[in-house]
């Protein structure tokens, strides 16, 4: 997470007016306590009305508000619909993130706009999406870090193979998640249904961008 994003998240955490320890906030942001102390010092130096110190905790002395977003009713409806779809999807970490984001948006949008967003849309993920959900957070992490992973994959006939792969992109087809990869076992591009991945193991090894093995190369080969 970029430092500017962390500082914004810290403000959102502190807006509830309660006392928050450095350890709790550091855990939520997945940073060290030392980093959290530096970030809090930056916020305090910028004039944020925060009380607290190392070892005790931090709280806002007075409420703060953010300026209202300038969005049209159609933009609000599009935004809330998208968040509802993600919130009720099968991916647990994205669902929680979407719910948190929805709360932040509601806090700064005029009440009238939120009320006019319309009835909620319900999403009922199928068996394939539910089976894929357990691997999605780990795969997104591998994609973000450009990390090589090992997967145990079960094909349509029930055969199981172990594959060292370089994840390139996750794609959702309305019912099924697929993972496009550079498969080191086959020395070629391969796409796997995520719901058929039996196990996923991290290696901690990053891989370089190599000509002929990149997402752009995959896109060129699969372009219609």
129-140 pLDDT, tens per residue? 888 888 988 999
Three-class SS state of 11: helix
Residues 26-36: tens digit of each pLDDT? 998 889 999 99
Portion of the chain with pLDDT greater than 90, in percent? 36
The tokens describing 54, both together, are 């190392």
Closest residue by Cα to residue 109 from 71, 164, 155: 71
Domain ranges in the chain with CATH number 2.30.30: 129-222
Q: Which residues make Cβ contacts (< 8 Å) with residue 14, sequence separation at least 6?
A: 20, 50, 58, 59, 60
Token pair in block for residue 41: 């010092």
Q: Where in the chain is the domain with CATH 1.10.10.10?
A: 3-60
Count of Cβ atoms closer than 10 Å to residue 104 Cβ: 14
Structural element, H or E, at residue 94? helix 92-108
Average pLDDT over residues 167-195: 93
Contact criterion met (CB below 8 Å) for 182 and 149: no
In angstroms, the CA 158 to CA 179 distance is 19
pLDDT, residue 65, reads 60
* Chain segment 105-126, per-residue pLDDT in tens: 777 776 766 666 655 556 667 7
Statement: the pTM of the whole predicted model exceeds 0.75:
no
Q: Please identify, in words, the CATH class of the domain defined by 129-222.
A: mainly beta
CATH for 3-60?
A: 1.10.10.10
Q: How confident is the model at residue 91 (pLDDT cuts 50, 70, 90)?
A: confident
pLDDT score for 95: 81
CA distance 45 to 110: 30
């Amino acid at each position: 997470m970029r430092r500017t994003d962390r500082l914004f998240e810290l403000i959102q955490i502190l807006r509830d007016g309660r006392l928050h320890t450095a350890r709790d906030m550091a855990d939520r942001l997945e940073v060290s306590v030392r980093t959290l102390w530096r970030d809090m010092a930056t916020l305090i130096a910028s004039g944020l009305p925060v009380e607290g110190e190392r070892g005790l905790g931090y709280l806002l002395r007075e409420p703060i508000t953010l300026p209202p977003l300038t969005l049209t009713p159609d933009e609000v409806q599009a935004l809330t619909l998208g968040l509802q779809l993600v919130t009720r999807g099968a991916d647990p970490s994205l669902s929680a993130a979407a719910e948190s984001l929805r709360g932040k948006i509601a806090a700064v949008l005029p009440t009238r706009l939120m009320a006019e967003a319309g009835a909620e849309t319900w999403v009922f993920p199928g068996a394939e999406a539910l089976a894929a959900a357990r691997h999605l957070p780990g795969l997104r992490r591998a994609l973000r870090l450009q990390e090589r992973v090992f997967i145990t994959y079960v094909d349509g006939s029930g055969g199981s193979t172990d594959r060292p792969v370089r994840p390139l992109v996750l794609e959702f087809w309305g019912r099924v998640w697929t993972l496009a990869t550079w498969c080191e076992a086959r020395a070629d591009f391969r796409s796997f249904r995520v719901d058929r991945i039996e196990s996923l193991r991290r290696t901690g090894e990053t891989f370089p961008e190599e000509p002929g093995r990149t997402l752009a190369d995959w896109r060129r080969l699969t372009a219609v």
